[in-house]
Amino acid sequence: MVYTITVHLYCNDAPESIPRLKAKLVEAAGVYRKDHETLDWLVMQDVKDPRAFTIVERFETEESQKYHLENPYWKTFDPAVLPLLDRPMDLRRHEEMEVMI
What is the pLDDT, as a whole number, of residue 75?
Answer: 92
* 57 DSSP 8-state letter: E
Residue 75 backbone dihedrals phi, psi, to 5 degrees? -70, -15
What is the pLDDT, as a whole number, of residue 41?
Answer: 97
Q: pTM for this structure?
A: 0.93
pLDDT, tens digit (0-9, with 9 covering 90-100), for 22-55: 999 999 999 999 999 999 999 999 999 999 999 9
Which residues, listed in sequence order, are joined to residue 93 by a DSSP beta bridge? 5
pLDDT of 101 over the 90 cut: no
pLDDT, tens digit (0-9, with 9 covering 90-100), for 52-99: 999 999 999 999 999 999 999 999 999 999 999 999 999 999 999 988
Distances, alpha carbon 35 to alpha carbons 17, 59, 91, 100, in Å? 27, 10, 20, 28
Quick count: other Cβ atoms within 10 Å of Cβ 99? 5
What is the pLDDT, as a whole number, of residue 100?
Answer: 84
